Amino acid sequence: MPITSILKDDSGVENAVYGILMIAIVVMVALLIGSLVLSQGGQVQVLASSPKASLTGVMSGGTAPSMLINHESGDPLQVSQILLNVYDDDGVLIGSTQVSSVSPAVTPAQLSPGMQTSAIPLSLNPGGTIDTGSRYTVKVVSSQSKQQIGSIVLVAR
């Protein structure tokens, strides 16, 4: 093979240039993605978790149903941020009470372990009743995060 043909053969150079260009493009894309991801780090918000608590209660039936909540253990609860969903024994929602809208205001404002609320009047759906001797499930939900804090199964007095 003459030397002139070796000097004029540039097919290997073309492949090497393409390879280097592809590597450069991949590195630039990786740097771009990395800078975008890392620049958002200060703006990432951690979702606040709902408090969790072990609760018991006493429910009174009749024409003006109400309940008391006993805080047995767990995180302190802001009473004004509690939503009470009342279900009958068949799992049908019969009422929902936003505690912050109850008048007079429920006391104490913060419920810690070992404490009990004042009577909370329950708002029932039309046709919903709390019958003495029947079993109900009350799901206590955070009105801010809409996550369940606890659940109470009780029999109405």
Read off the pLDDT of each residue in 49-78 and give the average, rounded to a whole number: 89
In this predicted structure, what is the pLDDT of residue 84? Answer: 95
Percent of the chain residues topping a pLDDT of 90:
59
pLDDT bin (cut points 50, 70, 90) of residue 16 is confident
pLDDT bin (cut points 50, 70, 90) of residue 12 is low
Amino acid at 106: V
pLDDT bin (cut points 50, 70, 90) of residue 44 is very low
Read off the pLDDT of each residue in 135-143 and give the average, rounded to a whole number: 93
Q: In what order do the strands lie in the sheet containing 135-142?
A: 93-98, 82-87, 135-142, 148-155
Higher pLDDT, 47 or 32: 32
Read off the pLDDT of each residue in 35-44 and give the average, rounded to a whole number: 67
Higher pLDDT, 42 or 119: 119
Q: Give the closest residue to 136 by CA, choosing from 95, 79, 81.
A: 95
* Distance (Å) of CA 61 to CA 1, 37, 57, 80, 129: 106, 56, 13, 23, 8
Residue pointed to by tokens 């429920």: 106
Residue pointed to by tokens 């990432």: 44
CA distance 80 to 93: 21
Read off the pLDDT of each residue in 2-12 and give the average, rounded to a whole number: 61
In this predicted structure, what is the pLDDT of residue 18? Answer: 87
Beta strands, E only, the chain: 53-60, 66-74, 77-78, 82-87, 93-98, 110-111, 120-121, 135-142, 148-155
Read off the pLDDT of each residue in 127-154 and give the average, rounded to a whole number: 91
The stretches of 1-155 forming alpha helices (DSSP H) are: 3-8, 11-39
Count other C-beta atoms under 10 Å from residue 138's C-beta.
23
**How does strand 77-78 pair with strand 82-87?**
unpaired
Read off the pLDDT of each residue in 92-121 and give the average, rounded to a whole number: 92
In this predicted structure, what is the pLDDT of residue 46? Answer: 47
CA distance 102 to 118: 11
In this predicted structure, what is the pLDDT of residue 14? Answer: 77
